[in-house]
């Protein structure tokens, strides 16, 4: 949402978007055409089912060229500790690498009891008796 506001109502100083470069990449001659098209794109996306979001835009801290990502990582310093630069489809992303916890195929660990299960059917485990030796 920040980038939407930044494009529709850009800051006077210290903006985070290079509008000249963005207009050049998208083929726009002036800012007003970029702003109008951007508004229409967002409205169209809101009206359609957008459940298949691209993770590079929704889960990354930054997306762009390798130089841009390295610059952002340096500028953010300790706040991006543990984040990695990932190359995918000729673009680079700065993001946290997601590691699954345990075995995702077997989520049943055998220690779950349902509240509506009768008490006599519960398996109760006893602690082993200590060995005296």
Q: Which tens digits make up the pLDDT trace of 89-129?
A: 788 999 887 766 655 555 555 556 566 666 555 555 556 66
Q: Which tens digits make up the pLDDT trace of 72-89?
A: 899 988 888 888 898 887
What's residue 100's pLDDT?
64
Distances in whole angstroms, Cα of residue 26 to Cα of each of 61, 63, 70: 22, 16, 23
What's residue 8's pLDDT?
86
Which residue intervals of 27-119 are DSSP H helices?
31-47, 55-58, 66-76
CA distance 95 to 76: 12
What's residue 1's pLDDT?
47
- The structure's pTM equals 0.43
Asked if residues 24 and 34 have their Cβ atoms less than 8 Å apart, the reply is: no
Q: Where are the beta strands (DSSP E) in 1-133?
A: 62-64, 83-88, 91-96
Q: Which tens digits make up the pLDDT trace of 16-74?
A: 788 888 889 999 999 999 999 999 988 887 787 655 667 777 788 888 899 999 998 99
CA distance 117 to 123: 11
What's residue 128's pLDDT?
63
Q: Phi, psi (5° rounding) for residue 57? A: -90, -25
What's residue 44's pLDDT?
86
User: Distance of alpha carbon 23 from its chain centroid, rounded?
Assistant: 25
What's residue 28's pLDDT?
93
CA distance 49 to 17: 27
What's residue 81's pLDDT?
86
């Amino acid at each position: 949402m920040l980038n939407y506001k930044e494009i529709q109502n850009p800051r006077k100083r210290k903006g985070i978007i290079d509008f000249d470069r963005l207009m050049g990449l998208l083929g726009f001659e002036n800012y007003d055409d970029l702003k109008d098209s951007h508004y229409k794109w967002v409205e169209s996306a809101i009206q359609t089912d957008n459940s298949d979001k691209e993770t590079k835009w929704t889960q990354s801290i930054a997306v762009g060229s390798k130089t841009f990502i390295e610059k952002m990582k340096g500028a953010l310093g300790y706040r991006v500790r543990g984040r990695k630069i990932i190359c995918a489809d000729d673009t680079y992303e700065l993001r946290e690498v997601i590691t699954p916890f345990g075995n995702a195929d077997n989520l049943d660990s055998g220690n779950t009891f349902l509240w509506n299960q009768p008490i006599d059917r519960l398996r109760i485990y006893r602690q082993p008796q200590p060995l005296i030796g």
